[in-house]
Amino acid sequence: MSQPLEGGDAVLRALGIHRLVMPVPFPDAGGPVNAYAVEDGKGGVLFFDSGIGTPEGVTALHAGAAAARLDLRRSRQVVVSHGHVDHFGNAQMLSELSGATVRLHPGDMEKVVGEDVWEIRAPLYATFLRRQGVPEEQLPRLLSIGRHSGKYSRRVDPDRVQPLTEGEHFRVGKVRLDVLHLPGHTPGLVCLWDAEHRLLFADDHLLARTSPNPFLELVDERTTRRALIQYLHSIGRVRALDVEWVLPGHGPPFQGHRAAIDSLLRFYERRQEKLLGALAADPRTPVELSVVLFGAQEGPRLYLTLSEVVGNLEVLEDAGRVRRVPGDGLDRWVAA
């Protein structure tokens, strides 16, 4: 006999929705990851996210489905919130089991579907990262963050996939789920919104305690996707919604989305003030600024801290408070 459900999980269960929890082996993710299984009332299931594809993740997914009496072979659609391994890891497996269609936004397609094209993209990132001040010997470990690892996820066959866009909706069982395209954490991130029951399936766009990293992605070797600027725009859209329960990608459902968003906005403002303080004297590279804010880092962690620094600098630049000083192959920034 399973434990009685509380709070948001009980609300979900009454609507035929199950939160399946899988352990995540990297600490930066924000805790175990959630997949949400929505019953269609005819034995079929729609998944919003599929969790991580480690052996422990796959075992937990099967155990969670069994406890909820879900038949994974009757998965109809697997909606991928965004192209991070802890969210799409089991999409291919679920589709193989059931023939389910995998749905995701074109903005994150490259990270999930077909052959890994990272080796083609990596030189672009290397050029950009050198200009941020990353020492040559650190580049290989930094760049490993973009390479697909079969340890955490399987890539999805292109013929299983249909693109997903803002304005679409799913009618599943007792709910109608509207697709919101909310770029920022990644370019192709989507959330699902049930306006009738005021449920926001928020994945990594809004978490209770972790600020979503504005993950650095490039258009070309000089142009980023301006992740934090996009994120702040997207979170403004979510703030305006009348949400009762946020169903996050990590951690239990929570209430009070405006308070969570406002504290997140204050957090970014403080970080920007710190950056401005560090820029008061001489021009500095993003790597130098990352050391001031986060201490010396290397490998994938340095990539995450650089994403924070570059994202916040771009916000400050847009506000006319900092500017770039080009020269000697390095991007340096000064207070305006």
- DSSP SS3 for 99: coil
Contact between 212 and 234 under an 8 Å Cβ cutoff? The reply is: no
Least distance (Å) between residue 84 CB and Zn ion: 4
Least distance (Å) between residue 304 CB and Zn ion: 11
Q: Residue from 49, 194, 204, 308 that binds Zn ion (CB under 5 A)? A: 204
CA geometry: angle at 299 spanning 295 and 303, to 5°? 75
Q: Which is closer to Zn ion, CB of 116 or CB of 317?
A: 116
Q: Which is closer to Zn ion, CB of 234 or CB of 285?
A: 234
Least distance (Å) between residue 211 CB and Zn ion: 12
Residue with tokens 């941020």: 132
The residue type found at 52 is I
Stretch that binds Zn ion, among 119-127, 168-176, 196-204, 306-314 (CB under 5 A): 196-204
Say how far apart CA 241 and CA 198 lie, in whole Å: 8
H or E stretch at 230: helix 227-240
Q: Which is closer to Zn ion, CB of 83 or CB of 133?
A: 83
Say how far apart CA 32 and CA 22 lie, in whole Å: 5
Say how far apart CA 313 and CA 226 lie, in whole Å: 10
C-alpha 294 chain-centroid distance = 21
Q: According to the binding rule CB under 5 A, does residue 84 interact with Zn ion? A: yes
What does each C-alpha distance from 29 to 22, 128, 203, 217, 250 come to in angstroms? 12, 25, 11, 18, 8
Least distance (Å) between residue 33 CB and Zn ion: 6
- 91, 86, 107: which is closest to 219 by C-alpha? 107
Q: Which is closer to Zn ion, CB of 33 or CB of 287?
A: 33
Q: Which is closer to Zn ion, CB of 24 or CB of 38?
A: 24
Stretch that binds Zn ion, among 52-60, 67-75, 169-177, 204-212 (CB under 5 A): 204-212
Q: According to the binding rule CB under 5 A, does residue 105 interact with Zn ion? A: no
Least distance (Å) between residue 250 CB and Zn ion: 6
Q: Which is closer to Zn ion, CB of 108 or CB of 331?
A: 108
Least distance (Å) between residue 319 CB and Zn ion: 26
Q: Which is closer to Zn ion, CB of 22 or CB of 291?
A: 22
Stretch that binds Zn ion, among 141-149, 199-207, 265-273, 295-303 (CB under 5 A): 199-207
- 205, 189, 304: which is closest to 246 by C-alpha? 205
Least distance (Å) between residue 278 CB and Zn ion: 27
Residue with tokens 């959330």: 191
- Using CB under 5 A as the binding rule, the residues of this chain from 229 to 288 that contact Zn ion are 249
Q: According to the binding rule CB under 5 A, does residue 331 interact with Zn ion? A: no
Contact between 208 and 248 under an 8 Å Cβ cutoff? The reply is: yes
Q: Which is closer to Zn ion, CB of 51 or CB of 64?
A: 51
**Total count of residues recorded for the chain:** 336
What does each C-alpha distance from 331 to 229, 253, 286 come to in angstroms? 19, 41, 8
Least distance (Å) between residue 99 CB and Zn ion: 27
**x-marked contacts with Zn ion along 146-185 as a string, rule CB under 5 A:** ----------------------------------------
Contact residues for Zn ion (CB under 5 A)? 84, 86, 204, 249
